[in-house]
Structure 1
Amino acid sequence: MDEHLSGSRLLAIPGLRNLRDLGGLGAVRPGLLYRSGWLVDLPEEGARVLAKLGLRTVLDLRDADELVAQPDRTHDLNVDLANFPVLPQDGSYHPGLPPEETYALIMDTAGPVFVAALRRLLEPRALPALVHCAIGRDRTGLLVALLLELLGVPPEQILADYLLSNEGLGVLDGPVPYVDPQGVTRYTKPVMGELLTGALDRIRERHGSVEGYLLAHGLKEAELHGLRATLRE
């Protein structure tokens, strides 16, 4: 299928940034769960290549206004689009919030949304699935980190996958401009691992573990076991 970029885990598909298979991390089965940036710029050529993954579900973690302003382009891909907005809608979030405060806010408020997204993976014929937000780093990174820890992936691999987005977004050499749904030019900046580790430490302090956090927000024991049985080798 598509080639890996520069020998890394990143996959090269036209119009789709920051794409990789989560399989191979720990005991996660390959070919079942992918992460990327949005599909807004996906051309027909990219869709044809993406079809080779056999995707059945796309989990979009963006807000409703983002979906309206910049909808995913799936062309003739036969996939179910499922929206799970991670950012709070009560006005407590705004784009100028410092990243560490944004991460803390997400972890404090998005537990039920994370659980709903993970539950969607257990539905019949839901897999293979692709999860994304806008650039596939922050909101996607938090959900993926929770799932990988739930699946027993070593912490150093979870962190390395998170930091791989710096390469996937082309920001290893500095910030890159983008236009948000309001038409404002902003900049994607490289992230440091402390953002992710701080967010995970926050929920461990309050719930003891990632598993405890997800169970406290509605994940059932049977669903927890189902995710492990389905996604681990």
Structure 2
Amino acid sequence: MPERLLDITSGHNFRDLGGYQTTDGHTVKWRRLLRTGSLAELDDQDLTKLARIPVTVDIDLRGFAEIKKDPDRVPAGANYYHLPVFAEDETDASHSDEEIAKQMSKPGNGYRHMLVVYERMATMQSAKKAYQEMFARLAANDQGAAIFHCTAGKDRTGMAAFLLLSALNVPRETILQDYLLTNRVTKDFREHWLAQMRQNLPQGPTTDALINNRRELASVNSDYLTKAITTIEANYGDVHHYLTDYLAISPTELAQLRHNYLE
């Protein structure tokens, strides 16, 4: 069985959605749908590995400032599509320590901020346009693997994976487990980063609050995805109607997605 965590040395959170079972007896194909963090730091060896899969589509969900600062290193043979969920990064994955410190000195602000981010991902027009186009590109990709990613590969990418796996009829419990897998595969990197941050700051309640808030921003929480789901259900009844009515994914597109990515 292929590995779910890809062997990428100069990137974080590179994962395969293959192997997940659906409610109607199918299985997501391996090496066809890859959810990842940024491709900006990939080395040549990483790019060779992705080209060999082969990756044929690179969907970049980041904002304009993010891609200007850290453009993707696109695998050879892949078509690149910039589909910004937000005009600017609202998840704080790419913001400076100084910018975030101004907002995150109050306990609980990180958690509350992420709930707002997930509600906005379910309702904002920029997110709607991005995810609509993502589905169209995936439906058209009948050969090779598609990568979809943001900066950390957890929030905008996590929402994309939730919508996509829901469209493929993967059970909600499985989708949530995949979403939370981010915390496990990025734990060492995240905790090392937070420890370094703490070393460079004075001891005290303000620093404790900042570190705890940064931990909330840098990880995923089932409450975050649940906030998006409850927002969707309050407005559209269920995820299926959100996909077909709000995102306007046609029965033909859904059938093509399932043909492309299920076995």
Q: Which category describes the TM-score, using the shorter chain as reference length?
A: 0.7 to 0.9
Structure ranking higher in strand proportion: 1
| 1:163 paired residue among 160, 174, 180 | 180
The answer to which of 186-195 and 169-178 deviates more is: 169-178
> 1:169 Cα deviation (Å)?
2.0
Which of 129, 144, 151 is matched with 1:112 structurally? Answer: 129
TM-score using structure 1 length: 0.84
Match for 1:84: what amino acid? L
SS of 1:101's partner is helix
In the alignment, does 2:156 pair up with 1:132? Answer: no
Structure-1 separation of matches of 2:83 and 2:58: 10
As a proportion of its length, which structure holds more helix? 2
Runs of 4+ in 1 over 4 A off after TM superposition: 93-97
Contact kept, 8 Å, 1:172 with 1:190, in 2: the verdict is no
Q: Gaps (5+ residues) in structure 2?
A: 22-26, 93-102, 104-111, 197-213
1:219 lines up with 2:249 in the alignment: yes
Which segment is superposed worse, 32-41 or 45-54? 45-54
Give the drift of 1:173. Answer: 7.1
Q: Quick check: 1:198 aligned with 2:227?
A: yes
1:31 has 2:31 as partner: yes
Of 17, 22, 30, 1:22 maps to 17
Q: Does 1:189 align with 2:215?
A: no
For residues 171 and 220 of structure 1, what CA distance do their matches in structure 2 show?
41
Kindly name which structure, 1 or 2, has the bigger radius of gyration based on alpha carbons: 2
Q: 5+ unaligned residues in a row in structure 1: which ranges? A: 179-185
| Amino acid corresponding to residue 118 of structure 2 in structure 1 | Y
Alignment of 1:71-110 (within 5 A): 71-74=71-74, 77-88=76-87, 95=92, 98-109=113-124, 110=127
In the alignment, what sits opposite 1:40?
40
Deviation at 1:12, TM superposition (A): 1.9
CA distance in 2, matches of 1:124, 1:130: 11
Tell me the equivalent position of 2:161.
144
Instruction: State percent identity of aligned pairs.
Output: 32
1:127 and 1:224 mapped to 2: Cα distance? 18
Find the counterpart in structure 1 of residue 237 from structure 2: 208
Superposition RMSD on alpha carbons, in Å? 2.7
Contact 2:61–2:130 under 8 Å retained in 1? no
TM-score, scaled relative to structure 2 = 0.75
Please state how far the C-alpha of 1:171 moved relative to its aligned partner.
5.3
Task: Deviation per CA, 1:172-212: give whole Å up to 9, x if none.
Answer: 8747359xxxxxxx765322111112211210221122221
**SS at 2:12 equivalent:** strand
